[in-house]
Amino acid sequence: MDKKKTILFLIRIVLLLIIIVCLAQIGQTYYLSVRHRQQQETMSTVVNTTKPQNLKPQTTPPQESFLQEYKENDNNNENENDTPEMMERFQALYAENNDLVGWLSIPDTTIENPVMQCEDDEYYLHHNFYREYDPYGCFFVKSIADVNTPCTNFIIYGHHMKDGSMFGNLDLYQAQEYYQAHSFISFDTLYEERTYQVMAVFLSQVYMEQEDVFKYYQFYQADTEEAFLDFYKAVKELSLYDTGVTAVYGDTFITLSTCAYHVEDGRFVVVAKRVS
């Protein structure tokens, strides 16, 4: 009898420990979700409504290539010290973290986030804007991307979070009705406001290096019309539906990429063409 009681007692202890561990995990998940939401709301307020006071204009762009192009295009200007001036609404955030390169937003969605860039392409997979370890990470572009010039295409990466934050709801674009209601994307660099129109929506994956298939995540610059058309035709053929948006050589794009689960290493992708 005592042996049975001992066994039952041990079982109860084990079950209690399991419950405590599960509750701790749920509590941590909830805390991280709330913290992330509060941080995003704070940054959105700064970017969209706050006018920073007593801040000197930031005039040093983070990409050397952008600065070089600016100088090359301004050779006829007598004042060679002129540099592009950062928009006032980004100055406070940039002062806090100079990895900031822009702001991505899609009206009437949960997507309203800073976009980061640094030499370590994996850093912002697991760190937030304040450089804290965070499973939510940040939207980011790889170090190869030049968001300011810009190149033909650059890719913004973000996690697909279960609570719908980050790119958690990006896959809603699988429905054409959702696209029709959210066809425009805003991506503002530190120096320029831009609008893009969704052109293609498709499922893909990360392929083996030796596989001879279209790899959207390798396309940044089209130096020839042929290279441009190869990319353009590939994304249009993969698109889940016809958006009716077309492009010609010389147009530039933004690509949003997040995880998908239809295959191993799956990806969900939205490609949009710049329209202003």
Residue labelled with tokens 């997040």: 258
Is the model's pTM score more than 0.85?
Answer: no
The encoded tokens of residue 72 equal 């090359």
> What is the set of domains in the chain, with CATH numbers?
2-274 (2.40.260.10)
Beta pairing, strands 184-189 & 100-105: antiparallel
In tens digits, the chain (276 residues) has pLDDT values of: 576 767 766 677 776 666 666 655 656 555 556 666 777 778 888 788 644 433 333 333 333 444 444 445 544 444 445 568 999 999 999 999 999 999 999 999 999 999 999 999 999 999 999 999 999 999 999 999 999 987 899 999 999 999 899 999 999 999 999 999 999 999 999 999 999 999 999 999 999 999 999 999 999 999 999 999 999 999 999 999 999 999 999 999 999 999 999 999 999 999 999 999
Taking Cα atoms as reference points, which of 29, 57, 52 lies closest to residue 190? 57
DSSP sequence for 199-222: EEEEEEEPPPTT--S--GGG----
Residue 235 sits at the vertex; the CA angle it makes with 229 and 241, to the nearest 5 degrees, is: 130
Task: Please list, in sequence order, all residues whose beta carbon lies within 8 angstroms of the beta carbon of residue 54, skipping any fewer than 6 positions away.
Answer: none
- Which residues face 16 on adjacent strands? none
